């Protein structure tokens, strides 16, 4: 009887999805949308020969990001991992430091921390935002940390806790005012991983307005793409200067000499990719609006189904709905839906495996993680490309 009820729920979900989504199969989780101006700008790079890490499109893309987000400085990088690695270095993270981060995030949040010899320290998620739970984090730090000479230390490991990375999961901005207060109280640098949140606002402020530094990503599955690509955002002019220097191999200005004054990286975004980014920025408002129309259609389709929860944007937020999330009753329903959808050419996906479950990160320090575990067990991400729907009403 239970299996029949499970099958019935899965069939009803799939019927709604097939009614809502295009008939062509497969329907991917997320794919980019391009307009003709993208071809024109990329061709301009090819015609001019300005395809590498210097060029007018790099400058224009950085200025466009600053203008759109309202954050004074943007430094474009080759990808989001490079942007986050740069943020960590600029925040003063050193080998053997601990960096707080959610366990419910893409592995790319933890990898640059581990690569620089620092230690990911996993914390729990808030059910209303999917991001770091400020109350749970504060309680955890009160239990396991102490202040010494203006630095937060983990009393269980003896290591400094240097920074907090807050991820805006699926494009929904976390409770940043509360998290900023926690970071300040414990002398932590605050980094926003806004890889999924370009075009998302909270209290009329774009993602990135609360952190000391912010990382963006323009991978092919993001709301706008440069093929690869990322960016560091900051309001601090000196941090921005250091970010540009760090991502340009720390080369000192000189007409011909190769003089460098620190260990640094070739992380600058090529002009060819930036040209695509400039074209994509021109579409950004349209893309966000289309994704919000799709989210409204999903909400209308699934709200009547009491066995499910369609995840709505947190209060005070205007989210880009990078990926739409459906919460099922349990793991059996989740796995059954994923398998059945795959067979029908609907490429649904679960949440990322929580990082503390991965073999290389299982030994790392962690808080209690009940909410993140529960979200992983029942969450399914739905196809969320901006081009999937043309007629639905937008969300507010």
Cα angle 289-38-246, degrees, rounded to a multiple of 5: 90
The CATH T-level fold of domain 36-280 is 3.40.640
pLDDT at position 36 is 79
Judge whether residue 209 has pLDDT over 80: yes
Judge whether residue 2 has pLDDT over 80: no
- Note the pTM of the prediction, 2 decimals: 0.95
The CATH T-level fold of domain 2-31+283-388 is 3.90.1150
pLDDT band at 109 (very low <50, low <70, confident <90, very high): very high
pLDDT band at 1 (very low <50, low <70, confident <90, very high): very low
Indicate the domain borders of the chain: 2-31+283-388, 36-280
Residue 388 has a CB neighbour count (10 Å cut-off) of 22
Nearest to 169 by CA among 231, 108, 254: 108
CA distances from 354 to 89, 161, 169, 324, 386 (A): 25, 21, 13, 18, 27
CA distances from 317 to 204, 205, 312, 370 (A): 8, 9, 10, 25
Burial of residue 359, with CB atoms counted within 10 A of its CB: 0-12 exposed, 13-18 middle, 19 or more buried: exposed
CA distances from 368 to 71, 146, 159, 247, 280 (A): 34, 19, 19, 36, 40
Judge whether residue 231 has pLDDT over 70: yes
- pLDDT-above-70 percentage for the chain: 97
Judge whether residue 374 has pLDDT over 80: yes
Per residue in 80-100, pLDDT (tens digit) is 999 999 999 999 999 999 999
Distance CA 321, CA 223 (A): 9
pLDDT at position 53 is 78
Q: For residue 55, report the phi and psi dihedrals to the nearest 5 degrees.
A: 165, 165
- Rg of the chain on CA atoms, in Å: 22
Average pLDDT over residues 121-136: 98
Per residue in 172-191, pLDDT (tens digit) is 999 999 999 999 999 999 99
């Amino acid at each position: 009887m239970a299996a029949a009820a499970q099958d019935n729920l899965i069939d009803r979900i799939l019927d709604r999805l097939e009614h809502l989504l295009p008939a062509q199969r497969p329907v991917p989780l997320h794919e980019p949308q391009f307009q003709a101006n993208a071809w024109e700008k990329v061709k301009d790079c090819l015609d001019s020969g300005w395809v590498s890490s210097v060029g007018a499109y790099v400058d224009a893309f950085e200025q466009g990001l600053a203008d759109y987000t309202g954050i004074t400085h943007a430094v474009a990088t080759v990808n989001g991992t490079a942007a986050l690695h740069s943020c960590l270095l600029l925040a003063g993270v050193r080998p053997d430091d601990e960096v707080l981060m959610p366990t419910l995030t893409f592995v790319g949040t933890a990898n640059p921390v581990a690569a620089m010899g620092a230690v990911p320290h996993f914390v729990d998620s808030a059910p209303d935002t999917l991001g770091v739970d400020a109350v749970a984090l504060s309680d955890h730090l009160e239990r396991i940390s102490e202040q010494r000479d203006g630095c937060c230390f983990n009393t269980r490991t003896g290591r400094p806790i240097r920074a907090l990375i807050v991820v805006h999961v699926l494009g929904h901005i976390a409770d940043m005012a509360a998290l900023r207060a926690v970071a300040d109280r414990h002398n932590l640098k605050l980094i926003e991983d806004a890889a999924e949140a370009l075009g998302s606002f909270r209290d009329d402020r774009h993602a990135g307005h609360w952190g000391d530094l912010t990382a963006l990503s323009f991978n092919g599955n993001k709301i706008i793409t440069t093929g690869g690509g990322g960016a560091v955002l900051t309001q601090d002019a000196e941090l921005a200067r250091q970010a540009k220097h760090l991502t340009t191999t720390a080369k000192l200005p000189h007409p011909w000499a190769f003089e460098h004054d620190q260990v640094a990286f070739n992380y600058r975004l090529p002009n060819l990719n930036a040209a695509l980014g400039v074209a994509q920025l021109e579409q950004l408002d349209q893309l966000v609006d289309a994704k919000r129309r799709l989210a409204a259609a999903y909400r209308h389709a699934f709200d009547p189904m009491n066995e499910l929860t369609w995840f709505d944007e947190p209060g005070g937020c205007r989210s880009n709905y990078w990926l739409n999330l459906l919460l099922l009753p349990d793991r059996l329903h989740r796995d059954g839906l994923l398998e059945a959808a795959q067979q029908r050419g609907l490429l649904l996906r679960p949440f990322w495996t929580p990082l503390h479950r991965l073999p290389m990160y299982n030994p790392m320090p962690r808080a209690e993680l009940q909410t993140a575990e529960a979200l992983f067990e029942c969450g399914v991400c739905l196809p969320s490309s901006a081009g999937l729907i043309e007629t639905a009403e937008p969300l507010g």
